[in-house]
Amino acid sequence: MIYDYIVVGAGLFGAVFAREAKDAGKSVLVLEKRDHVGGNCYTYEFEDSGITVPLYGPHIFHTDSLEIWNYLHRFTEFNRYQHRVLTTHGNRVYALPINLGTINAFYGVNLKPGEVGAFIQRKIPVNPQPMNFEEKAISLIGPDLYDAFFKGYSTKQWNTDPIKLPAELITRLPVRQSYYDSYYDDRYQGMPLGGYTPIFDGLLKGIPVELKTDFIDAKDHWFARCRKVVYTGPVDEYFDCCHGRLRWGSVRFETESLGVSDYQGTSVMNFADPDVPHTRIVEPKHFYRERRFTEERTVIIREYSYFDPLTPYYPVRLADDLELLAKYQALALGEPNVIFGGRLAEYKYYDMDDIIGEALRAARKAGH
Ligand SMILES: Cc1cc2nc3c(=O)[nH]c(=O)nc-3n(C[C@H](O)[C@H](O)[C@H](O)COP(=O)(O)OP(=O)(O)OC[C@H]3O[C@@H](n4cnc5c(N)ncnc54)[C@H](O)[C@@H]3O)c2cc1C
């Protein structure tokens, strides 16, 4: 059989595109090299407690788009989870992003909103031309807050002393002048009640999916079986990395089941200090408070940062990476029967709502 589309990758971009094409009456086959659908949004139920656990890092759904919020409601209900992030520094816990509560607790003061700007400004040394990440951060929030909340964390995240990182990695460091501590500002926010995997079961309903199948291993074979390919894998791998590999930041996850009902009292705790090797601990139970878990068990996930193009999480996107990307984009223009889409093919960080929007746009552009 010749399919209208072979979609490479059962992540959010691939699954949404496949759904739209199928609903428009097209024949679609999805290939996925992993042994499950869902891409990096994949969740599973932990065997001894039934807690829904993300395999590739916690995913909080948030969007300002009513269209995308409604679209996902075709496949799931959401709870009312509102994301908040805490950080441990010097054996004390503070709220992030830095807000009035963080500043008052950190400096032991009781500022009012109108006083924060001038207070922080007085702490910032004059530096008209910050030359690196550290100098740029200090020019925005001063040395005290930088040392406490960013220096150690960024060193762990980039595996590099921040004075060796370029200033352009930071465009802004938000300091909220109120006690508002919700991480996102979007109008719609929540966690899908059963985790993310059931969304993919709905998106891919009635569409054949071949798991553990790497498109790159048999490109010609798959091209002979379809009219068009939708490719959501890494763009450099599509072209056999002929110009070199794009750089990615990766995360190693260490998952542990514990015999306590609540380990840290919150879903995400960052660790700002350099002597703690992990960047954060995620406790997924707290994403689903409506389930009222009664068991004396929880799951925690420690996250460690490292660099590895084969485990792509966060695109580095410094000047030399973007030069390399431009070369692959030029090659992609010579592939009229391939639609390149998604975070890996575009070498770009996208939130989930944006990737759904991109996939819907790509489907519309293809006439569906
Ligand atoms: C740690 C982390 C946390 C995140 N948290 C959030 C969050 O809280 N909120 C939010 O909105 N967004 C979050 N995101 C972003 C979110 O993960 C992405 O928007 C989304 O996963 C992108 O979907 P995608 O389909 O482009 O890519 P992916 O999910 O990566 O899917 C691509 C799929 O293609 C498959 N594939 C690749 N190459 C091949 C091949 N050659 N053959 C067959 N299959 C192939 C891969 O196995 C994968 O399953 C987070 C991202 C990361 C890295």
Calculate how far, in angstroms, residue 188's C-alpha sits from the geometric centre of ligand 1. 21
**What pairs with residue 94 in β-bridges?**
87
Mean pLDDT of 84-96: 97
pLDDT of residue 354: 98
Calculate how far, in angstroms, residue 350's C-alpha sits from the geometric centre of ligand 1. 9
In a shared domain, residues 90 and 153: yes
In a shared domain, residues 338 and 223: yes
Mean pLDDT of 18-39: 98
Q: Whose CA is nearest to atom 7 of ligand 1?
A: 59
The Cα-based distances of 328 to 84, 97, 250, 321, 323 in angstroms read 38, 36, 22, 11, 9
In a shared domain, residues 76 and 126: no
Q: Whose CA is nearest to atom 1 of ligand 1?
A: 57
Calculate how far, in angstroms, residue 286's C-alpha sits from the geometric centre of ligand 1. 23
pLDDT of residue 309: 86
Calculate how far, in angstroms, residue 317's C-alpha sits from the geometric centre of ligand 1. 17
**What pairs with residue 53 in β-bridges?**
44
Average pLDDT, the chain: 96
Residue 261 lies in a domain: no
How far apart (Å, rounded) are the C-alpha atoms in residues 151 and 143?
Answer: 10
Q: Is 90 exceeded by the pLDDT of residue 296?
A: yes
**What pairs with residue 43 in β-bridges?**
54
Q: Whose CA is nearest to atom 49 of ligand 1?
A: 39
Residue type at 256? E
Note down the domain range covering 15. 3-81+188-247+315-365
pLDDT of residue 292: 82
Mean pLDDT of 214-242: 98
Specify the CATH number for the domain of residue 209: 3.40.50.720
To test ligand 1's pocket by mutation, which of 59, 184, 210, 358 has the most ligand atoms within 8 angstroms of CB?
Answer: 59
Residue 156 lies in a domain: yes
Mean pLDDT of 41-50: 93
φ, ψ for residue 287, nearest 5 deg: -75, -20
Mean pLDDT of 183-189: 96
State percent of the chain over pLDDT 90.
92
In a shared domain, residues 99 and 76: no
pLDDT of residue 295: 84
Residues with CB under 6 A from ligand 1: 8-14, 31-34, 39-41, 57, 59-60, 214-216, 232-233, 251, 313, 342-344, 350-353, 355
Q: Whose CA is nearest to atom 6 of ligand 1?
A: 59
Comparing 172-181, 216-225, 260-269, 333-342, the range with the smallest average pLDDT is 172-181
Q: Which atom of ligand 1 is nearest to the CA of 312?
A: 53
Residue 307 lies in a domain: no
CB-CB contact of 299 with 285 (8 Å): yes
Calculate how far, in angstroms, residue 233's C-alpha sits from the geometric centre of ligand 1. 9
Calculate how far, in angstroms, residue 296's C-alpha sits from the geometric centre of ligand 1. 32
Binned at pLDDT 50, 70 and 90, residue 293 comes out as confident
In a shared domain, residues 321 and 222: yes
Q: Whose CA is nearest to atom 53 of ligand 1?
A: 313
Mean pLDDT of 145-164: 94
In a shared domain, residues 211 and 147: no
In a shared domain, residues 97 and 242: no
Q: Whole-model pTM? A: 0.95
Edge-to-edge strands, sheet with 280-282: 92-96, 85-89, 268-271, 280-282, 298-307, 248-258, 314-315
Q: Which atom of ligand 1 is nearest to the CA of 303?
A: 1
Closest residue by Cα to residue 286 from 88, 51, 61, 45: 51
Calculate how far, in angstroms, residue 139's C-alpha sits from the geometric centre of ligand 1. 34
Number of structural domains the chain divides into: 2
Q: Whose CA is nearest to atom 32 of ligand 1?
A: 11
Last residue of a domain, one of 169, 204, 221: 169
pLDDT of residue 284: 97
Q: Is 90 exceeded by the pLDDT of residue 171?
A: no
Contacts of 191 (CB under 8 A, 6+ apart): 60, 61, 78, 79, 81, 287, 288
In a shared domain, residues 149 and 104: yes
In a shared domain, residues 59 and 35: yes
Calculate how far, in angstroms, residue 297's C-alpha sits from the geometric centre of ligand 1. 29
Residue 60 lies in a domain: yes
